Chains A and B, each alone.
Chain A
Amino acid sequence: MELLKYVVKELKEKGADDVITSLNESLVKQVRFANSEINLNLSYNFSTISIFAAIKNRTISTSLKELTKEAADLTIKKIINNVKNLPKNEEYRGIAKGKFKYPEVEELNDKKVDDADPIDVVEDAISISKNNGALKCAGVFYITKSKDQILTSNNIESEEGRTHYYFSIRSLNSKEASGHSTSSSNVISKLDYKSAAIESAEISKQSLNPKEAAEGKFDVIFSPLAFAPLLVHTGNSASVYSLESGFSFFPKEINKEIASKIVTLTDDGTYKNGSGSGKYDEEGYPRQKTVVVENGILKSFLHNTTTAIKYKTKSTGNAGIISPEPTNFVLMPGNLTKEKMIKSVDNGILITNIWYTRFNNYLTGEFSTIPRDGTFLIKNGKILNPIKGLRVTDKLSEMYKRVVGLGKDLKQIESWEAESPTVLPYVLVKDVGISKPK
């Protein structure tokens, strides 16, 4: 904290109007495995001070990796020199003003983190996958321990410790038969890697010998893992910065109907045991829960202090200093079990994972993505057989209007394809476009 104080004091004395400094110290252990063997253990040990300064409405950011006064002096000098040549940031309106009372977030910091052994977890998971019928498996396990401190020129000073565990496993029974599952938690006691290993192996076995399927419109059940990348894009679209820069399919005005009545989306930076949870955002504003869509009606965008002032509203605690970012983006649950959902479908598809989602137009939400891992044809309420070679080609803005069923259980998902944290149930969407190569 002493070095943060020094940087803020020096920059203020040299003419900065606003300064945000934060120190992140993190120690990460990682184990990678493939072909049912551990192929690499890794560790990362990093300390970084991030610095943001606004001087006469000119905004600049940098970081400091050598945590010494001498290195800080050089960086401060460079900030002052560089900022002189910058044009004004016409969009900049300021940073949060403290003090704040921060929320108590449950299950953010696990005291048992130093005892957790990544090798034991992975070796157990490999055995479980094999014992449940997988020919081989691959994946990754991370254990992260970090400490953050923040100090700003606007009376904000705080710190928090965080821990996180992320486990991902893909079981395979042939080049065309595989299943993928993940588990993530901030506390080891709630990391359910065993269920993930079992689920991935079971999907893999069930997807053996897939058949070619037809093109057309199908009612599609997306598992939480499969819908998560689309929900990540939805969360990003909720940032007012995305709206301004052409990356959002949301309309520009709130209170518009954008989804079916059963769809409620929240961004919850205080979600218990949430991967994206914390006490404060990047400018030290308290994290909170924000209702983005309520029963299909767009209610709010995600803001930091600058965008909130511009749009005459309050910050939602989602700084990103330049761009507001989602924390834990939550699709609220419905009342269906997975079995009931399948039973309700006459002509449909169950998709358990997707891969390579790309947009043709972010404004309209036109996209396509490819089902990966177990994909199953549903006829008259029953799973008929695994299928292959499909592509989902649809419009996200329209798809949300066709959501007709939501599972009753929520699962927290982060994955290789879903880069920021989401929480969601199984999702049933009517008349989804399915195409195939010719």
Chain B
Amino acid sequence: MQDLAEFTIKYLQKKGASYAEAKYQEIESNSFIIKNGSLDISSFDIIKGIGVRFILNKKLGFLSTNILEKDALIKQLENSLKMALKTKISEKVEFSEEKANRANYEVKQKIKLSNVSTDEKISILMAAEKEMRSVDTKIESTYIHLSDNETLNYYVNSDGSKIQSKIPTASFIYVISVRENGRTSQRYSEYGGGGGFEVVKNFKIPSLLKSEVEAMKNNLRYGKKPPQGVVDAVLGPQVSGIIAHESGGHPYEADRIFGREAAQAGGSFVNKDMIGYKIGNEAVTIVDDPTVENGYGFYLYDDEGVKARRKYIIKNGAITEFLHNRQTAKLMGLKSNGSARSNAFDKEPIVRMSNTFFLPGGYTEEELIEDVKLGVYIKNFMEWNIDDKRINQKYVGSECYLIENGKIKNPIIAPKIETTTFKLYPSIDACGKNLEYHAGDCGKSDPLQGIPVILGGPSIRVRRVKVS
């Protein structure tokens, strides 16, 4: 099928395309859903297909298909070229000049996913169910979804890039509902990483889910109202991770800055002249790094053939770099920094995050806490959202505790932080050493592309934030 990808490039060049690229992909996947202790469904799938993008007369076209026959593909290509030529009110699309890359890489699997029986995968989930039910509380419902997949990519473009990669990943999500004293609490979270079955083993699903149920029980049984008003907050890695993603990553995606996502994922408060703008405290450095080994958003070459590297989005509180693909890089007179991704062969590559996180500081979590007179410790969260300009954001804590005179005290119920990017980032005065990577599926574009990303960070301390 690599031949078909290469044929497509040549065909488009012959038709006058100034640029063409094709991505052939094979995705083999398995998934299991356990609901209330019963295996609802086991699914497996093998998807093969090709996605093609081209520039003709500075107009951009994209097509994808799983019908891997030359004649059908030519027909589709011809229709796409015709559509491009017909367009009158059109953006003039140009890409930055980039080096042609040739590479072949893969993420190693210590325990090959294909060597692990369905039995073993399911038994981990069943063990988790048993562990959760062993906690002395009433569980209303449980829902666990475990997936793994192995993706083979073959990318080729008219600049001469040829890149092959094999990337296995595993992930699981869970939703747990617990009832205590007539009240309910829920936890939803996701874990994911690149690698073989060792990734699933490292999740330690049974003990993780048991500890979630314990925490929910304690919160419902012993939790008190959170302090109201302006206090300090120490936010655990799961919370700093979602903050890094939502207001430390998204606003700096250059396609949003240029208005390309206006009708979907929205715009940004950032404009193209804000490089150097001091948005946060010195303690704040946020990077997006696709090369993090075993990261859920790992890649070494992006979906435009550009070599991936770490990007410092915010360095010591100042905006330093946006996330670019070749189109937005050209608009700003730059080189791409390798941020183009599509979630599969059937979608266009666009500017995306990969593994985005606060860089750690020099404090232990205890040190962050011991300097707080009155405040809240928010380990993780349930509800969150942010406006489409990435300013107005809210986080509602799930497992949380009162901090009094530098010590963790009783659980507190659902403290809410509702703040803005401009208030939050200058208030982060210290970062812990305890960097953690949490997983998410980030949604953008139309059709919606959910893409695997890391939302990461250490515990961070926020001074004088309004809690309700």
Contact = CB atoms under 8 A, between A and B. Distances in A.
Contact of B393 (A33, A85, A419, A437): A437
A151 B122 CA distance: 30
A168 B83 CA distance: 20
A355 B266 contact: yes
A60 B392 contact: no
B350 to A, nearest CB: 10
A361 B382 contact: yes
B446 interface: yes
Nearest to A63: B45
A29 B61 CA distance: 11
Contacts of A44: 63-65, 346
Interface stretch (B13-21, B255-263, B399-407, B453-461): B255-263
Contacts of A366: 383
B47 A42 contact: no
A358 B87 contact: no
Interface in B78-108: 79-80, 83-84, 86-91, 93
Contact of B42 (A60, A355, A357): A60
Contacts of A254: none
Contact of A45 (B65, B140, B388): B65
Interface stretch (B30-38, B274-282, B301-309): B30-38
Interface in B36-90: 36, 38-49, 59-68, 72, 76, 79-80, 83-84, 86-90
Interface in A395-438: 416, 419, 435-438
Interface in A193-248: 241, 244-247
A263 B230 CA distance: 41
Contact of A34 (B72, B118, B263, B420): B263
B186 A86 contact: no
B87 A34 contact: no
B11 to A, nearest CB: 15
B133 interface: no
A419 B35 CA distance: 23
B63 A43 contact: yes
Contacts of B418: 391, 435-438
B203 interface: no
* Binding site secondary structure of chain A: strand
A48 interface: yes
B35 A245 contact: yes
Nearest to B184: A363
B384 A358 contact: yes
B219 interface: no
Interface string B164-184: 000000000001110000001
Contacts of A126: 89
Given A138-B259, A360-B414, A361-B382, A59 B41 contact: yes
A435 B33 CA distance: 37
Given A138-B259, A356-B386, A438-B419, A322 B40 contact: yes
Contact of A247 (B67, B175, B383): B175
Contacts of A389: 392
Interface in A353-382: 355-364, 366-370, 372
Contacts of A118: 83
A89 B262 contact: no
A229 to B, nearest CB: 12
B61 A41 contact: yes
A86 B89 contact: no
Q: Which of B42, B64, B122 has the most CB of A within 10 A?
A: B42
A279 interface: no
A43 B76 contact: yes
Contact of A86 (B35, B42, B346): B42
A372 B175 contact: no
Contact of A35 (B39, B83, B259, B393): B259
A297 interface: no
Contacts of B387: 355-356, 370, 372
A78 interface: yes
A336 interface: no
Interface string A111-140: 000000111001100110000000010111
A435 to B, nearest CB: 6
A169 interface: yes
A255 interface: no
B49 A65 contact: yes
A245 B142 CA distance: 6
Contacts, number: 245
A419 B388 CA distance: 18
A123 B79 contact: no
A89 to B, nearest CB: 6
A109 interface: no
A91 B63 contact: no
B264 interface: yes
Contacts of A32: 446
A328 interface: no
B225 to A, nearest CB: 15
Contacts of A359: 382-383
Contacts of B127: none
A85 B119 CA distance: 6
A40 B261 CA distance: 12
Contacts of A170: 262-263
Nearest to B176: A246
A44 B346 CA distance: 7
A366 B186 CA distance: 11
Contacts of A364: 184
Contacts of A89: 38-41
A332 interface: no
A21 interface: no
A164 interface: no
Q: Which of B38, B87, B118, B185 has the most CB of A within 10 A?
A: B87
A70 to B, nearest CB: 13
Interface string A46-74: 11100000000011111101100000000
A355 B388 contact: yes
A59 to B, nearest CB: 6
B210 interface: no
Contacts of B45: 62-63
Given A62-B45, A360-B383, A45 B67 contact: yes
Contacts of B83: 29, 31, 41, 43, 118-119
B363 interface: no
Given A364-B184, A372-B387, A391-B392, A39 B91 contact: yes
Interface string A68-94: 000000000010001101111111000
B326 to A, nearest CB: 14
B435 interface: no
Given A35-B91, A41-B61, A246 B263 contact: no
Given A65-B48, A91-B40, A367-B383, A40 B62 contact: yes
Q: Which 7 A-B pairs have the closest CB atoms?
A: A438-B466, A246-B141, A360-B383, A138-B262, A356-B385, A246-B177, A138-B263
Interface of A: 29-48, 58-63, 65-66, 78, 82-83, 85-91, 117-119, 122-123, 126-127, 136, 138-140, 168-170, 172, 175, 178, 180, 241, 244-247, 322, 355-364, 366-370, 372, 389, 391, 416, 419, 435-438
Given A65-B46, A138-B263, A244-B141, 11 more contacts: A38-B91, A43-B64, A45-B67, A60-B42, A140-B263, A175-B269, A246-B177, A246-B186, A358-B383, A361-B382, A416-B264
